[in-house]
Structure 1
Amino acid sequence: MNVETSIPLLDEILGEWQELIGKDYAGYRNHVFRVVNFCLALKECTPEEVEKIIIAGAFHDIGLWTGKTLDYLTPSLPPARDYLERRGLQAWTTEIELMITEHHKLRPYTKLAYPLVELFRRGDLVDFSLGAVTNGLPKEFIKQVKDAFPNEGFHAMLAKMGSKWMLKNPLNPAPMIKW
């Protein structure tokens, strides 16, 4: 397993959002790089699958900033859709949207038509859990990825945002989580 430290398409997509993301940019960029690396380590992917993972990765949490909300899954969809349309990749829309909307599903995504949805969920979970959930990845590989792409405050930002959200929405403390 090799850590992918250079993913030009990912930097190209995220670069368009750097100003909006602001001080959280390094943390989000590194989070996405970690998720993509974990996905690629969990399954040998075709070039098309790699591109889909990169696109979903770039947009999967972007609604934190576009929607200014912890309930960010739905606000993450229009930017992804717009990107796919600009690139002439509308045929990928359903799959990319599912990769985004289901990435915090607590149980496995089992619809066989879109296997990348479950792969992406598992890759994100490795990072979301700070490596506590390995999904079968070697702990040494997880450490290498985390060393290459340090947290840069990403999880602290989520915790702070989550605390504020819970005070205002005590009956819906984690709106992005699905069964």
Structure 2
Amino acid sequence: MYGIAGFLTGFITEGLNLMALPANIGRIDALLNPWRPVIGAAFDGYRNHVVRMASYCLLLKPCDAIEQQKIEIAACFHDIGIWTAGTLDYLPPSAAVAREYLGANALEAWSDEIARMIVTHHKLRPATDEASALVELFRKGDLVDLSIGLVKFGLPAAVVNSVKAACPNAGFHRNLCRLELGWFLKHPLNPVP
């Protein structure tokens, strides 16, 4: 369990590097590396987005080992449908890829919860009607990163800035804007999810 105090302690003692982030970077890399050929040139940006958003989730609320693993799995797959399905209407395809992974790794019991984390992570209003608190936590973690730290949900600016510095953007937001513009030009009546 990390939380802000644990992060700041690690940050002060370890300096500004990936080791200071609360997300399990080894697990994230193991989950994402097989997708490198599919994601292509956007891989580093997406991978860093996944690490940042998972870290924000863990800084917003200390989690036990199982909750952390669920967050990291959901984070790895939450936008992957952009590349696997070739669409910006990617929430259902992303959830399907996550379900496949969970089924192949004897984690089917987590499928519904992780799918809900993925398909609701763009909600503008709090996901308070969800049975799992992780659904709302995941939404918040993604929004902190998607907003480039403008929305913090109480995280200190220094913590958000430290996460961003430890795991650079690598063109993630620029690539999203490019994809969204291309989508809008082809589908002006069908906005992004």
Bin for the TM-score computed over the shorter chain: over 0.9
Following the alignment from structure 1 to structure 2, what is the Cα–Cα distance between the partners of residues 6 and 61?
19
- The CA deviation at 1:86 is 1.3
Deviation at 1:14, TM superposition (A): 0.4
Instruction: Give the aligned residue type for 1:69.
Output: T
Aligned counterpart, 2:51: 33
* 1:170 positional shift: 1.4
The alpha-carbon deviation at position 169 of structure 1 amounts to: 1.5
Structure 1 stretches (4+) deviating beyond 4 angstroms?
A: none
SS of residue paired to 2:124: coil
Displacement after TM superposition at 1:162 (Å):
0.3
Q: Which amino acid aligns with 1:162?
A: E
Paired residues in the alignment total: 175
Q: Unmatched 5+ residue regions in structure 1?
A: none
Out of 112, 117, 131, which is 2:149 matched to? 131
The answer (yes or no) to whether the contact 1:73–1:101 under 8 Å persists in 2 is yes
Q: Does 1:93 align with 2:103?
A: no
Equivalent residue, structure 1, for 2:16: none
Structure with greater helix percent: 2
| Amino acid of the structure 2 residue aligned with 1:30 | N
> Where does 1:57-68 land on structure 2 (aligned, <5 Å)?
57-68=75-86
Matches within 5 A, 1:1-179: 1=4, 2=7, 3-4=21-22, 7-174=25-192, 176=193
User: Where in structure 2 are there 5+ consecutive unaligned residues?
Assistant: 8-20
Query: What is the TM-score of this pair, normalised by structure 1?
Result: 0.94
**One-letter amino acid of the counterpart of residue 110, structure 2:** W
Name the TM-score, length of structure 2 as normaliser. Answer: 0.88
Larger Rg, first or second structure (1 or 2): 2
Aligned CA RMSD, in angstroms, stands at 1.1
1:14 partner SS: helix
* Percentage identity across paired residues of the two chains: 51
